[in-house]
Copies of this chain bind each other. A is one copy, B any other.
Amino acid sequence: MTGAFPAMPRSLQNLPPKWAHFCLGIERFISDDLALDMTGKTLAVGLSGGADSTALLLCLHWLAVKNGGRVVAAHLNHRLRPEADDDARWAASLCESLGVPCVAREADVAALAASRGMGLEEAGREARYTLFADVLAQHEAHFIALGHHLDDLGEDLLLRLSRGTAWPGLSGMVGRDDGRRLLRPLLLTPKSTLTGLLTALGVSWREDATNSDPRWARNRIRSTVMPLLLQENPNFLDAVARLWRVGSADRDYWDAQTATAGTTLLDATLAGAHRALRLRLYKAALDSLGPGQALADTLFGLDRAWQDRRIGATFQFPGEKTATVTGSGVVFSPRH
């Protein structure tokens, strides 16, 4: 299969109109929903070889041609599956046929996991993000573009629901993360559209058999809960996309409302704030102290203590962070 790519269309104009239109829709999503003007930008594409990242590379390549930008692919060989070397050759060949630079690296993810006492999934993620950081630096890229699509978003929403994530986090992964310089241009595109694009162009892709391993919650959600919701509502993925748009607007709204919150929230600030805003102020203060997701229950408990003026009451949060009600407000502290 390696090297067996058809002659690739050189630009949007050479695509069937349906698929040129599809790429322009992705450009619009990037500009309108992700607030990024692609003109002159360099995007690095995390290319696993699955249908999602393959379609993403093609689409962003043609949009870069249109917008005077650049695309570079980043492929990590995890050395976990027998097909891994074939995947790497496949990725290099695809990039060659597009005329796109490909940064390929091997990582012994199993050894990394063993030496660091991590799970394979976590070690794989760490190795990928190390590669991404290097590619961002070497190629002066603005963002790493990832292939997450609407089916992934639906699974993410259901996983977050099952774990009790509050709002707006419940609405799913962000489309743009400026801190980690991540972009997810396909987030509202169903997977079936991506395989449709590849099939129409005669471009092959690589399947990852671990995607059906029921040891992972995400795979269980995909194979059990998702089909039931699609049975209730064949347009369920549209509902997921809608909810994500509302969640993105709300996330941005609460970020703006809490932008000036430090790690000490004064009584005057809290007293003038609605309960819904106080909840987000507490969360913003905690988030500024590092990783660790606070449960809404503990935040409500803290709020109750503040309302009751229980001075000295202290609450523990994940990441060994604490919040204490004082005589002048609520003070948040990192681990010592």
A259 within 8 Å of B (CB atoms)? no
A225 at the interface (CB under 8 A from B): yes
B246 touches A274 (CB 8 A): no
Which B-chain residue is minimally distant from A253 (CB atoms)?
A: B276
Q: Are A162 and B229 touching (Cβ within 8 A)?
A: yes
Cβ-defined contact, A242 with B295, below 8 A? yes
Q: Which residues from chain B contact A221 at a C-beta distance below 8 Å?
A: 232
**Mask of A199-230 contacts with B, CB within 8 angstroms, 1/0:** 00000000000000000010011001100110
Q: How many residues of A contact B (CB 8 A)?
A: 41
Q: How many copies does the complex hold?
A: 2
Q: Which residue of B lies closest to A170 (CB)?
A: B243
Chain B residues contacting A185 (CB-CB under 8 Å) are none
A163 at the interface (CB under 8 A from B): yes
A171, A246, A296: most-surrounded residue (chain B CB, <10 A): A246
Is A297 among interface residues, defined by CB-CB distance under 8 A? yes
Cα of A197 to Cα of B242 in the assembled complex, Å: 41
Q: Which of B163, B171, B224, B247 contacts A239 (CB 8 A)?
A: B163
**Interface residue A287 (Cβ < 8 Å from any Cβ of B):** no
Select which of B162, B167, B256, B275 is within 8 A of A171 by beta carbon.
B167
* Contact among B163, B225, B296 with A225 in the assembled complex (CB-CB below 8 Å): B225
Check: A334 CB closer than 8 A to any chain B CB: no
Give 30 pairs: A residue, B residue, CB < 8 Å, sorted on A: A161-B229, A161-B239, A162-B229, A162-B233, A162-B239, A163-B233, A163-B239, A164-B235, A164-B239, A164-B242, A164-B243, A167-B168, A167-B171, A167-B246, A167-B247, A220-B232, A224-B228, A225-B228, A225-B229, A242-B295, A242-B296, A242-B297, A245-B296, A249-B274, A249-B276, A250-B276, A252-B274, A252-B276, A253-B274, A253-B276
Q: Which residues of A contact B (CB under 8 A)?
A: 161-164, 166-168, 170-171, 217, 220-221, 224-225, 228-229, 232-233, 235-236, 238-239, 242-243, 245-247, 249-250, 252-253, 256, 274-277, 279, 295-297, 300
Query: What 11 new A-B contacts, CB under 8 Å, besides A164-B242, A245-B296, A252-B276?
Result: A161-B239, A164-B236, A164-B238, A164-B239, A164-B243, A166-B243, A167-B168, A167-B247, A167-B250, A225-B229, A238-B297
